[in-house]
């Protein structure tokens, strides 16, 4: 304590001399320490109160001026590092202002638990309702559907279905078919208007000298109403002027290899001019990209009700054995016999055409084109029956035209046969051709061998060689 009082007096009197201090080592150390910590300027004691300095004067050991955040100068004696003053151009630091959001509304009330509804059985529902009449009403729609189904099916399938087993087990019972005979009269009149509508006039397919399509109307001949049903593209018909122009050339060069083909070697003169024109057009066509290899088959549909006619179905298929089985199941009220197929095999030539023994060889080329050519010629033969003329085949189309215009009943036979509807499936098979049987002469009983089969083989050979 004596030492502290001595130091206070020394500081108050302003004396910086150490002569009056006691000679003590501890006092000397403390004195030097406080000398280094002098905060204000040393002044002489005058007895007057010092004036307050506006800039950093010492008042009671503290500065009366407002403290500065950053010092103006920095000396090397400063022990603590002070960050430098920012440059004049720097902006003041701005703190983000918090966004103010409205108070959220009340939370939605969670839904209450759903009570499970027990599933009652039909027996329990009937017991609780106590109304058996409602149960009966709910069963009425199925009863109505069940009543209409046999009614609609009976109009199409009932005439043939009961007689299928009789045709298989007892072929002699096939002629007795009263249901089919009664069902055919109402079907035939409905087909006649369709046949007449298909014979309406169409626009000529020829091209005029101006490079435009000919606008002349052309009547569709009855010989091609059925043949055009299996053609995807628009059938080509020509007026009298373009018919003459197209019948003038004697042949053409094939698209395949440029071989010259004479029309007279393939198209007989006993065919109608319209048939000859369509055959020429079909021969000159390029092969379609959709055409495939396959077979041309021929069925004979035996019908004892028409002893003066022979019904032959000529169609195409890519699987001969499969098609034979399908046709037997599709329309089985009448007995069907395979007469042959193209291209034939050695076994077929020897007579092994029974079902289950047919061995089909390699398919022929482009069966679509072969079928089209065959159908065109067979349609003309079936409708105009030129083979019944004793001069056949040495006759021409002019003689056939005069025969049809004389009012004979022969052409009307073909027109009627084209409108027949199948009693089994209700469809009109466009591949079925009905030929009048020859009563005398070379072609008697040889309609298949001498008329139909040569046509198929001829056009099959043409397509295989030149298409």
Residue 374: pLDDT above 90?
yes
Residue 260: pLDDT above 90?
yes
Tell me the longest C-alpha to C-alpha distance in the chain.
Answer: 177
Residue 364: pLDDT above 90?
yes
Q: Is residue 311 part of a domain?
A: yes
Residue 121: pLDDT above 80?
no
Q: Pick the residue with more confidence: 109 or 244?
A: 244
Rounded Cα gap, residues 258 and 13, in angstroms: 142
Q: Pick the residue with more confidence: 322 or 268?
A: 268
Phi, psi angles (nearest 5°) of residue 9? -60, -40
Tokens of 19: 């002569």
Phi, psi angles (nearest 5°) of residue 109? -80, 125
Residues above pLDDT 70, as percent of the chain: 51
Selection from 129-133, 156-160, 279-283, 358-362 with the highest mean pLDDT: 279-283
Give the range of the structural domain holding residue 287, as residue numbers without chain letter. 252-466
Q: Pick the residue with more confidence: 464 or 147?
A: 464
Q: Is residue 331 part of a domain?
A: yes
Q: What digits encode the pLDDT tens for the residues 149-202? A: 433 333 333 333 333 333 333 333 333 333 343 443 333 333 333 333 446 688
DSSP 90-117: SPPP-PPPPP--PPP-PPPPPPPPPPPP
Q: Pick the residue with more confidence: 25 or 242?
A: 242
Q: What sign does the dihedral 206-211-216-217 (CA atoms) show?
A: positive
Task: Check residue 253 and give its pLDDT.
Answer: 95
What's the helix, strand, coil split of the chain in %, to 5? 40, 10, 50
Q: Pick the residue with more confidence: 113 or 80?
A: 113
Q: Pick the residue with more confidence: 5 or 293?
A: 293
Task: Check residue 396 and give its pLDDT.
Answer: 82
Q: What is the overall mean pLDDT for the chain?
A: 70
Tokens of 122: 């039909």
Q: Is residue 259 part of a domain?
A: yes
Query: By the 8 A CB rule, do 421 and 427 touch?
Result: yes
Rounded Cα gap, residues 15 and 24, in angstroms: 18
Residue 439: pLDDT above 50?
yes
Task: Check residue 48 and give its pLDDT.
Answer: 52
Question: How would residue 19 be classed by pLDDT, with cut points 50, 70 and 90?
Answer: very low
Q: Token pair 């599709």 is at which residue?
A: 330
* Distance from the first to the final alpha carbon of the chain: 138
What is the arithmetic mean of pLDDT over 305-329?
87
Q: Is residue 365 part of a domain?
A: yes
DSSP 199-261: TSEEE---B-TTSSB---EEEPPGGGTTGGGG-SSPPP---HHHHHHHHS--EEE-TTT--EE
Q: Is residue 360 part of a domain?
A: yes
Q: Pick the residue with more confidence: 13 or 98?
A: 98
DSSP 268-312: -TTS-HHHHHHHHHHHHSPPPTT---BEEEEEEEE-TT-TTEEEE
Report the range of poorest mean pLDDT among 14-23, 46-55, 185-194, 258-267.
185-194
Q: What digits encode the pLDDT tens for the residues 57-77? A: 555 555 555 555 555 555 555
Rounded Cα gap, residues 377 and 282, in angstroms: 12
Question: How would residue 141 be classed by pLDDT, with cut points 50, 70 and 90?
Answer: very low
Q: Is residue 337 part of a domain?
A: yes
Count of domains in the chain?
1
H/E stretch holding 337: strand 335-342
Q: Is residue 351 part of a domain?
A: yes
Q: Pick the residue with more confidence: 202 or 14?
A: 202
Question: How would residue 445 be classed by pLDDT, with cut points 50, 70 and 90?
Answer: very high
Q: Is residue 423 part of a domain?
A: yes
Q: Pick the residue with more confidence: 347 or 21?
A: 347
């Amino acid at each position: 304590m004596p030492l502290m009082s001595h130091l206070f007096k020394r500081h108050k009197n302003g004396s910086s001399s150490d002569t009056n201090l006691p000679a003590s080592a501890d006092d000397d150390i403390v004195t030097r320490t406080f000398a280094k910590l002098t905060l204000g300027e040393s002044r002489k004691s005058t007895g007057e109160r010092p004036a307050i300095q506006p800039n950093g004067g010492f008042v009671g050991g503290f500065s009366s001026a407002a403290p500065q955040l950053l010092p103006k100068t920095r000396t090397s004696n400063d022990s603590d590092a002070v960050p430098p003053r920012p440059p004049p151009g720097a902006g003041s630091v701005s703190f983000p202002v918090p966004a103010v959001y409205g108070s959220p509304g009340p939370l939605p009330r969670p839904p209450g638990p759903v009570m499970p509804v027990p599933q009652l059985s039909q027996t329990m529902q009937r017991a609780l309702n106590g109304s058996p009449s409602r149960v009966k009403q709910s069963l009425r729609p199925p009863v109505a559907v069940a009543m209409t189904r046999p009614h609609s099916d009976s109009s199409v399938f009932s005439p043939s279905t009961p007689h299928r087993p009789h045709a298989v087990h007892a072929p002699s019972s096939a002629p007795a078919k009263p249901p089919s005979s009664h069902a055919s009269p109402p079907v035939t009149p409905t087909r006649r208007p369709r046949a007449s509508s298909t014979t309406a006039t169409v626009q000529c397919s020829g091209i005029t000298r101006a490079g435009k399509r000919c606008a002349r109307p052309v009547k569709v001949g009855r010989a091609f109403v059925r043949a055009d049903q299996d053609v995807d593209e628009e059938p080509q018909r020509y007026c009298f002027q373009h018919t003459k122009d197209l019948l003038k050339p004697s042949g053409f060069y094939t698209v395949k290899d440029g071989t010259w083909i004479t029309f007279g070697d393939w198209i007989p003169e006993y065919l109608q001019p319209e048939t000859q024109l369509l055959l020429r057009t079909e021969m000159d066509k390029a092969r379609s990209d959709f055409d495939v290899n396959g077979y041309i088959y021929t069925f004979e549909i035996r019908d004892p009700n028409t002893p003066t006619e022979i019904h032959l179905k000529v169609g195409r298929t890519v699987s001969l054995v499969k098609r034979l089985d399908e046709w037997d199941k599709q329309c089985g009220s009448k007995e069907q016999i395979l007469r042959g197929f193209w291209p034939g095999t050695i076994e077929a030539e020897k007579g092994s055409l029974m079902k289950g023994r047919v061995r089909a060889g390699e398919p022929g080329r482009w069966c679509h084109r072969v079928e089209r050519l065959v159908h065109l010629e067979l349609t003309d033969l079936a409708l105009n029956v030129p083979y019944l003329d004793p001069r056949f085949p040495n006759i021409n189309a002019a003689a056939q035209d005069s025969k049809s215009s004389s009012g004979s009943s022969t052409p009307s036979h073909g027109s009627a046969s084209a409108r027949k509807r199948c009693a089994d499936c209700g469809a009109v098979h466009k591949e079925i051709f009905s030929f009048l049987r020859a009563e005398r002469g070379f072609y008697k009983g040889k309609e298949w061998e001498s008329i139909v089969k040569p046509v198929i083989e001829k056009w099959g050979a043409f397509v295989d060689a030149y298409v």
